Chains A and B, each alone.
Chain A
Amino acid sequence: MHLNSVGSLWLRRYAMFVACCTFGLVIAGGLVTSNDAALSVPDWPLSWGRLVPTLEGGIRYEFAHRVAAMLVGLLTVGLALAVGTEKPLPDGRGSDGTTHLHAEPRPSGSGSWLAWAAVAVVLAQAALGGVAVRFVTPAWATIAHAALGQLFFAILVAICVGLYAGYGGGWAAPTVVCTVALFSQTILGACVRYGVMTPVAHIVGALFATMLVMWAGLNILLQNLENPRLRRPALVLLSITFSQVFLGIGSYMARIVYAGAPQPMPVLVLFTVAHVAVGSLAVGAAVALAMLARPNAFRVHGGTGCRRTPGGRSTGCCCCIPSWAPA
């Protein structure tokens, strides 16, 4: 796939790798919570006073999460440095030699800022994880840890998409609202998981978030049926969100069925981890769609092939700006 992207090939691949690792980290975190293993290692940053503890029971989940978090942290620092130092070649080629016709300047501004924001968030995550262990899971710390994890993944998705589509330009309000709603849902979900809120708030929030996703997603989809660059991400967001709703129902049902279970049951663990992971994907997909739906996204093509039919549909190899997007 050649997208005339603003980031060099290796940088884009590296950013994707970091984002995939982060998604794995989200799953690892979900496994820790679902297996009730968060405090199986009572000290931090060492584990049972050692660098590598005996890997048994809940310690396996918690220690794997810590190691994965450290690796992702290091990878993120590398990404920030790489994004910050990435410069276009004078003739319009990236550092990998790929031609970037009409390419905008490299993402030394927003992209670099986002990458360093990711570093700040991952460091805050590490600190919050330590607070949760040292001060024995204060609810605010564990909820903030869960929320920041989702925010971190969203930032990495934004960096990845930005390396393809650029960072500048205005935002289309519905996609931003949709992203905020989905992110808020992950916070509500964390509140339910840690017992500071009843599931009702999360369920009501899910209704609102789903409606917003449908509004933004269908709007973009219907106006860009012939433009795969927006049709596909819109379809992905809609599919992920609907999957998430069913996973949410499954998690809730599993909670009821296994309410009296003496230990975390595999079905319950499966549903809740999948719900957390797909929740991350939903936020990530919303971020991606919000960035791709900007009027300035893929500006390298814009203005040459973009045509709008009388009915308002966009055609051609271009960024197809929704009718409600800012000019």
Chain B
Amino acid sequence: MKKIWMGAVLAGSLTLGGCGGDKPAETAKTEATAPAGGAAATPDEANGGTITGKVAFAGEKPKMATLDMSANPACERAHKGSPQKSEEVVVNENGTLKYTFVWVKSGLPADKQWAVPAGTTSLDQNGCMYKPRVIGLMTGQNFEIKNSDPTNHNIHPQPTVNTDWNESQSPGQAPMTKSFGRQEVMIPVKCNVHPWMRAYIGVVGHPFFAVTGDDGTFTIKGLPPGTYVIQSWHEKYGPMEQTVTVGAKESKTVEFSYKS
């Protein structure tokens, strides 16, 4: 009998060993926000070049699946009356594509260091959906993750270059601040509690990026004169590239067109 008790205690202590695990999971390691030594440059919006454009969508508008949120009543209640559709492909009224990440892939001076953009970028969990679905960040730029839902979420980015992490966020919990130290286009983010939740984060080493919104347009300002490879990235339709040359105070238009 004594042996049985010893065995049970041994198994229990090893299975539950290390209690006190209310400490949150490890946080992502990040590199320095600003370069060491020397002033970091900011985009010269007054004298620099500007690239504007839109991401068009041609063909039949894809029919998005309705998400089944029955696994969590709080999520289902948030969309009562109008069930949430998947946001994998969102075609705007004007025939453009929402949630496309556009960035300068190459052409910038290699030795130039750029300052992290001002302002706060947020990723909100609202209605058991990530809002917005796609965000852009500069390496080392802090961003805020909020939980506006009355339910638990875990935030699990799945980078291949940056450090992986997975943390929980309960209802009413303070926003968490995170950053990524290395350029990576794109980092998928998921919630394993609600497997339909998905977001993408584009992390680049400079401030020249944009994400298309409800009108499908983008603007990248303050570029030094030069020739650039501009890449657009969509989660379903993938990347497209165009080369464009822009001078000082010059504005160029670029259009990307995806087909269904």
Chain A interface (Cβ within 8 Å of chain B)? 35-46, 48-50, 53-54, 56-60, 62, 69-70, 73-74, 76-78, 80-81, 85, 119, 123, 126-127, 130, 133-134, 136-137, 260-264
Contacts and interface: CB of A to CB of B under 8 A. Distances in A.
A112 to B, nearest CB: 12
Interface of B: 3-4, 7-8, 10-12, 14-26, 64-65, 67-68, 71-75, 86, 88, 151-152, 154, 156, 164-168, 170, 190-196, 198, 236
25 contacts: A37-B192, A37-B193, A39-B154, A39-B192, A40-B191, A40-B192, A42-B24, A42-B154, A42-B166, A43-B22, A43-B23, A45-B19, A46-B22, A54-B152, A57-B75, A57-B193, A78-B4, A85-B3, A134-B26, A136-B25, A136-B165, A136-B166, A260-B236, A262-B67, A263-B196
A123 B11 contact: yes
A126 B164 contact: no
A40 B193 CA distance: 5
Contact of A123 (B14, B170, B192): B14
Nearest to B196: A263
B195 A56 contact: no
A228 B68 CA distance: 49
A69 B17 CA distance: 14
A54 B11 CA distance: 25
A58 B15 contact: no
Which of B18, B26, B152, B164 has its CB near the most chain A CB atoms (within 10 A)? B152
A43 to B, nearest CB: 5
B11 A58 contact: no
Nearest to A44: B21
A74 B192 contact: no
Given A43-B22, A62-B192, A261-B65, 20 more contacts: A37-B193, A40-B192, A41-B168, A42-B166, A43-B24, A44-B18, A45-B15, A54-B152, A57-B71, A57-B75, A57-B152, A57-B193, A70-B15, A78-B7, A81-B3, A123-B14, A127-B14, A133-B25, A134-B26, A136-B166
Contacts of A133: 25
Given A46-B21, A136-B165, A77 B11 contact: yes
Contacts, number: 130
Contacts of A78: 4, 7-8
Nearest to A71: B15
Contacts of A62: 192
B139 to A, nearest CB: 21
B24 A263 contact: no
A76 B170 CA distance: 35
A45 B15 CA distance: 7
Which of B14, B24, B191 has its CB near the most chain A CB atoms (within 10 A)? B14
5 closest Cβ pairs, A-B complex: A49-B22, A40-B192, A263-B196, A57-B193, A262-B86
B130 to A, nearest CB: 12
A46 B4 contact: no
Given A45-B17, A136-B164, A262-B67, A37 B26 contact: no
Contacts of A134: 25-26
Contacts of B194: 57-58
Contacts of B73: 56
Nearest to B18: A45
A42 B151 CA distance: 15
Contacts of B236: 260
Nearest to B68: A263
A57 B128 CA distance: 11
A50 B170 CA distance: 13
A36 B156 CA distance: 12
Given A43-B24, A81-B4, A262-B65, A48 B168 contact: yes
Contacts of B18: 44-45, 130
Contacts of B12: 70, 74
A75 B26 CA distance: 33
A126 B14 contact: yes
A262 B196 contact: yes
Contacts of B67: 262-263
A70 B16 contact: yes
Given A56-B151, A59-B152, A136-B25, A43 B168 contact: yes
A96 B3 CA distance: 21
B192 A119 contact: no
Contacts of B75: 57
Given A57-B194, A77-B10, A42 B15 contact: no
B17 to A, nearest CB: 7
Given A48-B152, A70-B15, A73-B11, A42 B25 contact: yes
Contact of A58 (B4, B17, B170, B193): B193
